[in-house]
């Protein structure tokens, strides 16, 4: 298990690569057992286990939403886990009378 310093180092490296749009470094940051979970009612709902499935799902999310990373506000590090607080533009531009659903 990684310690706090290792977790912080990996997350900060990931954040820097994401901010710089260095997709190869982002890809290399993912563990083989990554499992993004998408909830709600989109075509991406479910668990996308493994690096290949995770990267495919994250790519689809980017294409479907035109998402763009604005900033990484913070890197949170605990005894065994960590997280990024990120601000993204999801590209949702509404016109009058159009809802989100």
Helices (H), the chain: 4-19, 23-29, 51-65
Residue 30 lies in a domain: yes
Does residue 95 lie in a domain region? Answer: no
The yes-or-no verdict on residue 4 having pLDDT over 50 is yes
Stated length of the chain: 101
How many whole angstroms separate alpha carbon 24 and alpha carbon 67? 18
Q: Which domain holds residue 20?
A: 4-89
Helix (H, G, I), strand (E, B), or coil: what is residue 5? Answer: helix
**Confidence category of residue 96, pLDDT binned at 50, 70, 90:** very low
Please check whether residue 97 lies inside any domain of the structure. Answer: no
d(CA 78, CA 80): 6
**Model pTM score:** 0.72
Is residue 10 over pLDDT 50? yes
| Residue 31 CB neighbours (<10 A) | 10
Residue bearing the bigger pLDDT, 37 or 74: 74
């Amino acid at each position: 298990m990684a310690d706090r310093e290792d977790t912080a180092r990996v997350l900060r490296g990931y954040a820097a690569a994401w901010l710089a749009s260095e997709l190869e470094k982002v890809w290399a940051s993912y563990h083989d057992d990554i499992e993004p979970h998408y909830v709600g009612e989109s075509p991406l709902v479910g668990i996308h286990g493994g690096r290949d499935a995770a990267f495919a799902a994250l790519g689809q999310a980017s294409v479907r939403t035109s998402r763009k990373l604005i900033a990484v506000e913070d890197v949170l590090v605990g005894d065994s886990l960590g997280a990024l607080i990120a601000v993204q533009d999801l590209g949702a531009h509404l016109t009058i009378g159009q809802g989100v659903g």
